[in-house]
């Protein structure tokens, strides 16, 4: 059997949020109005230039509090087990998360971005930032098993502890 190559990513900064515990943290940015900060390491600061014209950002981050993975999970919009790759659950072989957040302001001198709609735990390691561009990113897409389920309210999702 061929050896699997290793991949290494650098943390470019941290996402600062009001959420210090999994319980009570919004499930997805859609269910959050919370503000947060992106604190970029100085060596990556020049990469923030020209972001101020974008309204939304795509964040890629590492689920640093996840231990292990599961190939089948019960996602928060369902009560049936699904394959991990058909969900956004954090228990993944590579614990990489993605969120689309609103960009409120930029402070290029301090390497800080103020964001809204944050749905991650405080001090989550940030891997990358990409601008959200509707021309490229907004698609008329099918939603698989999610289209078959009843959408729960935010209160129900948070109160049942599924994330």
pLDDT in tens, 117-127: 998 999 999 99
Average pLDDT value for residue range 75-87: 87
Reported confidence tier of residue 106, pLDDT bands at 50, 70, 90: very high
* Mean pLDDT, range 107-114, rounded to an integer: 97
The domains located in the chain, with CATH, are: 13-134+144-158 (2.40.30.70)
What are 21-50's pLDDT values in tens digits?
Answer: 877 766 766 667 789 999 999 999 999 999
* Average pLDDT rounded to a whole number, residues 149-160: 47
Distance CA 132, CA 29 (A): 14
Q: How confident is the model at residue 129 (pLDDT cuts 50, 70, 90)?
A: very high
Does pLDDT of 156 surpass 80?
A: no
pLDDT band at residue 3 using 50, 70 and 90 as cut-offs: confident
Mean pLDDT of 125-138: 92
3-class state of residue 119 by DSSP: coil
Environment class of 91 (CB within 10 Å of its CB; exposed 0-12, middle 13-18, buried 19+): middle
Q: How much is the average pLDDT of 67-96?
A: 90
Average pLDDT over residues 70-88: 89
pLDDT for 154 beyond 70: no
Q: Is 71 left (phi over 0), alpha (psi -120 to 50) or beta?
A: alpha
C-beta separation of 16 from 115 below 8 A:
no
Asked whether residue 67 carries a pLDDT value surpassing 80, the answer given is: yes
Confirm if 114 and 105 have CB atoms less than 8 A apart. yes
């Amino acid at each position: 059997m061929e050896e699997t190559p290793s991949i290494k990513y650098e943390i470019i900064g941290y996402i600062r949020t009001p959420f210090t515990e999994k319980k009570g943290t919004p499930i997805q940015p859609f269910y959050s109005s919370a503000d947060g900060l992106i604190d970029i390491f100085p060596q990556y600061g020049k990469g923030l230039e020209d972001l101020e014209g974008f309204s939304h950002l795509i964040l890629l981050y590492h689920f640093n509090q996840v231990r292990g993975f599961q190939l089948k999970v019960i996602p928060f919009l369902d009560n049936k087990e699904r394959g991990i790759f058909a969900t956004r659950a954090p228990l993944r072989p590579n614990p990489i998360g993605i969120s689309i957040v609103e960009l409120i302001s930029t402070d290029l001198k301090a390497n800080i971005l103020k964001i809204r709609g944050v749905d991650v735990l405080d001090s989550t390691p940030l891997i990358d930032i990409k601008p959200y561009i509707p021309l490229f990113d907004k698609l008329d897409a099918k939603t698989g098993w999610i289209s078959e389920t009843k959408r729960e309210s935010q209160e129900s999702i948070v109160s049942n502890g599924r994330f």
